[in-house]
Amino acid sequence: MEIILWLGIVLLAGFLITYIWGENKTRKNVKIIQKRLAEEMMTTVSAGSHYKEIPPKMRTVSAKYNLFKSSSGQPLNTSAFDSYLVQGNSMQYCDIHPGDIVFAQKGFRLSDLTKFPSAVILKNLKANKNQCQFKIRRAWTVCPDNLEDEEYIKILTEVMNSPEYLNLKDKAKNIYESDDKMLEGFMKKLEEYRANRDTESLGQSIVISSTYDVDNKKIRFSIHRTSSLMGIVKYVVSVSNTQAA
């Protein structure tokens, strides 16, 4: 019966030695591990036209291992959202700034886009794989792409008379030129769109959005195919300490 005693002593001593060694090793590493887990490489979204200078992913705080709460204290279930790290300054009049994280509900369908204006995520079809793959814009309306010029002007006039647009004009009064300049800019974009449009896709719907051109300090409308829509931004959070990959 001595075997059980010796076995017990040997195993217990072995375990204790391993335990003490393990604890010391873990204590040194645990802070590093926690810090690593609290950050992640997040998909970037370009607010503006400088997508070529933005990598597709950048390091920021983890959407999974940090708690995101509303002002009333309700935690956000981040697993139900796609999260994007904003790079660029063109959404500043929408209170979205560089380094912010925006959350867009997963499983987007065009029928979800019913409320305007909405900050939307669009796939950037021009970007190569080393550049930012998405862009963020403020969508004002969705309409077919085969309307006459007068119909577009009518739609945009309605948009420009909406309380939300008037609010934008008020916020951006230092740089906002005029409604006529906005329409003029839109017609140029429409010409470009029509020139590049595939005739087979005529009649598809488009998103008309606004963006602030940081370089020229102008707000302009732009046109995007609805097929490039990836989601509607529901929440935005300001964080800091963003690092490139």
Partner 1 sequence: MQDYNNSSEEQQNLMFHRKLIPILNSVLWLAALPIGCYSEWSEAIDEDYQKICLFLTMYCTFMFEGGLIWWDIMAINYNKSIRLKDSVFVRTIFFNMALTLVVVVLFFVTKELWLMYSVMVTAAWLKYIICRITPKLDVVEIPYFANEYEVKELN
Q: Does 68 bind partner 1 (CB under 8 A)?
A: yes
Residue length, the chain? 245
Q: Does 245 bind partner 1 (CB under 8 A)?
A: no
Biggest CA–CA distance in the chain, Å, is: 100
Nearer to partner 1, 50 or 234 (CB): 234
Q: Does 12 bind partner 1 (CB under 8 A)?
A: yes
In angstroms, give the least distance from the CB of 227 to partner 1. Answer: 23
Q: Which residue type does 49 have?
A: S
In angstroms, give the least distance from the CB of 38 to partner 1. Answer: 3
In angstroms, give the least distance from the CB of 91 to partner 1. Answer: 11
Q: Does 74 bind partner 1 (CB under 8 A)?
A: yes
In angstroms, give the least distance from the CB of 97 to partner 1. Answer: 11
Nearer to partner 1, 20 or 202 (CB): 20
Question: What is the full DSSP assignment across 114-172?
Answer: -SSSEEEEEE-TT--TTS--EEEEEEEEEEETT--HHHHHHHHHHHHTSHHHHHHHHHT
Nearer to partner 1, 45 or 236 (CB): 236
Nearer to partner 1, 73 or 203 (CB): 73
- Name the β-bridge partners of 216: none
Phi, psi of 177 (to 5 degrees): -80, -75
Q: Count Cβ atoms within 10 A of the Cβ of residue 5 and give its class: 0-12 exposed, 13-18 middle, 19 or more buried.
A: exposed
Q: Does 111 bind partner 1 (CB under 8 A)?
A: no
| CA neighbor of 46 nearest in space, from 126, 128, 133 | 133
Residue 54 near residue 124, CB atoms below 8 Å: no
The residues of the shown chain that bind partner 1, judged by CB under 8 A, are 1, 3-5, 7-8, 11-12, 14-15, 18-19, 21-23, 25-27, 29-30, 33-34, 37-38, 61-62, 65-71, 74-77, 80, 94-95, 103, 115, 118-119, 233-239
